[in-house]
Structure 1
Amino acid sequence: MNTPTLENNRVKLSLLTLNNYSEILKIGQQENLVLYSPSKIATPEDLKNYTATAVAGYQNETVIPFIIFDKQTNAYAGTTRFAHIDWHNKVLHIGWTWIGHEFQGTGLNMNMKFLMLQYAFEVLKFDKVEFRADERNIASRKAIEKIGGTLEGLLRKDMLMLDGFKRSSCCYGILNEEWPAIKTSIFKDFE
């Protein structure tokens, strides 16, 4: 599988591996970073296992995990990925995104999502990009809506959280034919 490095003036997304995950160990230990996720990343062993799962998905060509480098602060910021890649139906998910608290609200996420959407639609020529968010995670839901995601439905009690709570997931999508208008309106300053 071709491994892209996605980059603009603000951010560089390169392949997350077992050789570079240690760059984000301290960020993964921040409190409440993945509050609405079933992922465990708070300890070095947790983050190694999280990365190993992503690497296994990459080897199976169903995941492309990225480590995020913020060029503005010259620091690693977190991770994101393409996942549930369905090459036949040309649909993938963007998710498993977490960035340190100090990077949130700085425009970093918008730059990342622009690069990822551009790659999914313009290079991979996929028909649809999907996003999932815990229905309680208003900040993530607003972020998805801000980049043009359309709420398509709710999967009720579909995911078991670490604390035993069974969350419901909001499903969002962007279609390939919607991308040109989203790119010129929402992302007009990101090329």
Structure 2
Amino acid sequence: MPWPDPVSLEGEFASLVPLQEDHADALALASGDGEVWRAWYTNVPAPADVAAEIARRLGEQRAGRMLPFTVLDQAGVPAGMTTYMNIDATSPRVEIGSTWYAKRVQRTSLNTQCKRLLLAHAFESLGCIAVEFRTSSYNRASRRAIERIGAKADGILRNHSRHQNGTLRDTCVYSILDSEWPGVKAQLDHMLGFDAP
């Protein structure tokens, strides 16, 4: 199996487990919750397309380009997907992306917990020198969330790709460096209430 190895990451508000084909039905329900797949500037699979998206991500994993996870909520119910992608084992560095959540868990501690788990594993276990985030310039909620956890803007890749509706996408690129991780970790712990006396 290409680097990095599949792993389960457990937190108080959310957990991450390796994506599997048998997660399809539960993830289709999550995708349908709030019809999150209808946002034109994201690439969330429609419920009918979830199985194909799982197959695609697992294929990318076999090729060493992605490590996909199923996101579980506090009760252990699948609530979305996230991945390490654009994997560079030589540097080493990864991007956290292709993330989506059911509406029922949006604006909860779930996303903060997921980022805390993924960043800690990237910096503390995988030895990454940087972790990257990318999002459409139109996805203001995603941009705010990325900035809120302490990632710094690297720039904008103009006409970088296309949205699912065919329009051109400007991609906003952010990153966190290994030297910045202690401060970002403290911020995430504060956001999750882990630094309370």
Calculate the TM-score normalised by the size of structure 1: 0.92
Quick check: 2:79–2:105 contact (8 Å CA) kept in 1?
Answer: yes
Aligned equivalents of 1:34, 1:182: Cα separation in 2: 32
Quick check: 1:69–1:77 contact (8 Å CA) kept in 2?
Answer: yes
The residue matched to 2:7 in structure 1 has which SS? Answer: coil
User: Which residues of structure 2 form unaligned runs of 5+?
Assistant: none
Calculate the TM-score normalised by the size of structure 2: 0.89
Quick check: 1:68–1:80 contact (8 Å CA) kept in 2?
Answer: yes
Aligned equivalents of 1:52, 1:129: Cα separation in 2: 25
Where in structure 2 are the equivalents of 1:66-145 lying within 5 Å?
A: 66-71=69-74, 73-145=75-147
For residue 31 of structure 1, what is the aligned residue in structure 2?
A: 35
| CA displacement 1:17-43 (0-9 Å, x = unmatched) | 212222211122342446222x35114
Percent identical? 32
User: Which residues of structure 1 form unaligned runs of 5+?
Assistant: none
The residue matched to 2:189 in structure 1 has which SS? Answer: coil
**Structure in which a larger fraction of residues adopt helix:** 2
Question: What displacement does 1:16 show?
Answer: 0.7
Where in structure 2 are the equivalents of 1:151-166 lying within 5 Å?
A: 151-166=153-168
Question: What displacement does 1:172 show?
Answer: 0.3
Q: How many residues align?
A: 188
| CA displacement 1:145-177 (0-9 Å, x = unmatched) | 011110110000111122111110100000001
Quick check: 2:130–2:177 contact (8 Å CA) kept in 1?
Answer: yes
Which of 42, 65, 68 does residue 62 from structure 1 map onto? 65
